[in-house]
Structures are given as C-alpha cells and as structure tokens.
Amino acid sequence: MANILIIYTGGTIGMVADPVTGALKPLDFSELENEIPALKQLGVEISHYEDFQPIDSSDVTPADWVGLAEVIARNHDSYDGFVVLHGTDTMAWTASALSFMLDGLAKPVVFTGSQIPIGVLRTDGRENLVTAVEIAAATPVVPEVSIYFQNRLFRANRTTKWSAEQLNAFTSENHPPLAEVGVTIHYNREHILGSGRNFHLRTGLCSDVALLRLFPGMRREVMEATLGVEGLRGVVLQTFGAGNTPTAGWFFDVLERAIAGGIVVLNVTQCIAGGVSPLYESGVELSRLGVVSGRDMTLEAAMTKLMWVLGRNLPHNETVRLLETPLRGEMS
C-alpha cells in the first residue's frame, strides 16, 4: 500500500464559512478529512503534516517556500508521494519554486486546491484532493512537482492561474498535460520527466529581484526607479509579444546601464502562450545588450528560477548559463 503525506498550507480548499460573520475561515486538517470520507476508501495510507498555520496564499513568502521544501526533503525517503494543499492564487509560484529547490526529485509532489470552499456542497476540492492523492500514489510515478486541477495534471513550472472564476483555474499553454483524467487516468508518459537520482534540497533564494512589466507610455523614471532599487541583482522584464519593447534610445540606455551595473535581466513575454525570440529590431537589441532570453517560461517559473539561480551566488557567466538551460523542464 502506497503511503502519502498530505501537507496542508491553507487556501480555499480548507475553508468553511463562519456561521456568525459569513467570512471564510480555515478548517483544521482532521475536519477536512471528515469532509471527504472517500479519502479513506482509496487504499492508500495517508499521513498528514499540519504544522503550518493555514494561510491565504497571497500571504505566502519565499521563506514559506523554503519551509515547505524542507518538509518534503526531510520526508522524501519515507513516503511514496506528497500532496500539497495550497491556495490557488499563488500555487503556481510556490510549486514552481519547489520544482527548482527539490533537485533530483524521485517522488511525486502534487499541488492541489479548490475554487469553491470544501464546506460548500458544489466544491471542486473533493475531486481535486481525491485524484491528487491517487496520482501521488500511482504507478507510473510522476516524479515531478505538479499541479492537479479539474481533470488535468500539469508540470508545476509550466502552469499559470488564468481564471479567478472557472473551475479549471490553471493552464499550461506551452507544455501538454502530464495526465488527463476521465473515466481513467491517462498519463502522457512521453511528457513526464524521468526519475531523479541523488535527491537533495537546494534552498537559498535571492529576494533582491524585481518584475518590470512593460506598458505603452511607461515613463523613464518608472523604469529607472525599478532598476535603481538598492541591492537589486535581477529583474524579469515582461515584454510584449515575441519579446518586443519600445525602441526609444533612453529605454535601451537605462537597460544597458543596469546590466553594466551587474543586474541580470531575464526576458519573458506577457502572452500566456508562446515565448520570446529575437524576431524584431528591439528583440535583437536586447540580445546585444546581454538580456537573457527566458524563451517560453511562465512568469512564475522565470521569477522563481531567477531567485533560485541568483541564490547560488555563481559567477555571472554561470548564472546566465543556468538561466538559459532547461533545469526542470521549465522551458522548451
């Protein structure tokens, strides 16, 4: 019998409405388990880790990512798989960060949550949790950090929350689902990473990073203020379309100065599908300045990868090489 560790961190999946105020409040895990009796019928030995104070995922910080990764690393050899219950709002961020920190992962780490609280009759949390446990316990093993939501299992670092309303809240536009769930669970084996060897935890995330999302009419001062933050070491530049930017001279000057000052600039697209490539004049200029291409990475993967790579304090060339190299299947 497979043994699975469920780690409860908070989010809508564990919420019920306070009978007095109507505000949503978190349940403790034993109540959550009682809400889903089917969990006990899966033929899986379930343990739970509930030392985290359940929080809304908008409050999650990189320190929480590290704490979660440490729990999984400590238990990696004792369980067949892990299910992490997490708020949907920043689930793709946490799961992407973990995909980098859990190096050589050999066990499934399946994130799930819900759009409708577990205490509500029409909740999507019940199916999400039951199937996530089934996948975490299954053969073939999916030895990746993944997100299971509404019938599809995605590679975590390819996933984005695209809808605040739909029950299929997540999408992975640049990589096919790892599994699709209908009457049976169909695993797309050719898209699943091979099992890692020599598992080890690599934490050390650099928080001296920023996101600069372009918009038409952005003032030079806005860009200078962002890139001028003291101690800044890296920035994700979210460009238009296939990696395009304004072609004004000042724009490239500000960027060039930042790069000369040692700031690593990683370019990803604002589009939800596709990636950046130096097709147009501005894209070619970015490459000339030393802007690193994030290709088809999601914003969540790009930011967390940048934090993780910078956290290793490597020489500049090596930092750039790692950013350009697919490490956990996060880019094509």
Asked whether 112 and 149 are in contact (CB, 8 A), the reply is yes
- Interface with ligand ASP, residue 87, by CB under 6 A: yes
- State in angstroms the smallest separation of the CB of 168 from ligand ASP: 13
Contacting ligand ASP within 55-84 (CB under 6 A): 56-58
Tell me which long-range contacts 42-46 makes (C-beta under 8 A, separation of at least 24): 42/130, 42/133, 42/134, 42/137, 43/1, 44/1, 44/2, 44/3, 44/4, 44/133, 44/134, 44/137, 45/1, 45/2, 45/3, 45/4, 46/3, 46/4, 46/6, 46/133
Catalytic site includes residue 21: no
282 belongs to the binding site for ligand ASP (CB under 6 A): no
Query: Which is closer to ligand ASP, CB of 163 or CB of 207?
Result: 163
Closer residue to ligand ASP in complex, CB, 55/327:
55
Q: How far is the CB of 11 from ligand ASP (least distance, A)?
A: 3
**Measured between alpha carbons, how far is residue 214 from residues 103, 146, 230, 280 in Å?**
33, 30, 21, 16
Q: Residue 8 and residue 118: Cα distance in Å, rounded?
A: 13
CA proximity to 242, closest of 281, 210, 184, 202: 281
Stretch that binds ligand ASP, among 51-59, 65-73, 175-183, 241-249 (CB under 6 A): 51-59
- What residue type is assigned to position 85 of the chain? L
Range 3-32, binding ligand ASP (CB under 6 A): 10-12
Shortest reach from residue 93's CB to ligand ASP, in Å: 10
**Rg (the chain; Cα; Å):** 21
In the complex with ligand ASP, which residue's Cβ is closer, 91 or 101? 91
| Rounded CA separation 152/182 (Å) | 9
CB of 46 to ligand ASP, least distance (A): 21
State which of residues 35, 80, 89, 300 lies at the interface with ligand ASP (CB under 6 A): 89
Q: What is the DSSP string of 274-295?
A: S-----SHHHHHHHHHTPEE-T
List 12, 88, 123, 269, catalytic entry: 12
In the complex, what is the shortest distance from the CB of residue 223 to ligand ASP, in angstroms, rounded to a whole number?
30
283 near ligand ASP, rule: CB under 6 A:
no
CB closest to ligand ASP, residue no: 87
Please report whether residue 159 would count as binding ligand ASP according to CB under 6 A.
no
For residue 27, the minimal CB distance to ligand ASP (Å) is 13
Nearer Cβ to ligand ASP (51/165): 165
Half-sphere exposure of 288 (CA within 13 A, CB side): 8
Note whether 293 binds ligand ASP by CB under 6 A.
no
Residue 113 is a binding residue for ligand ASP (CB under 6 A): yes
CA 173 to chain centre: 14
Count of H helices and E strands in the chain?
Answer: 9, 18
- Please give the backbone phi and psi of residue 81, each rounded to the nearest 5 degrees, phi first: -170, 170
| Catalytically annotated residues | 12
- Contacting positions for ligand ASP (CB under 6 A): 10-12, 56-58, 87-89, 113, 115
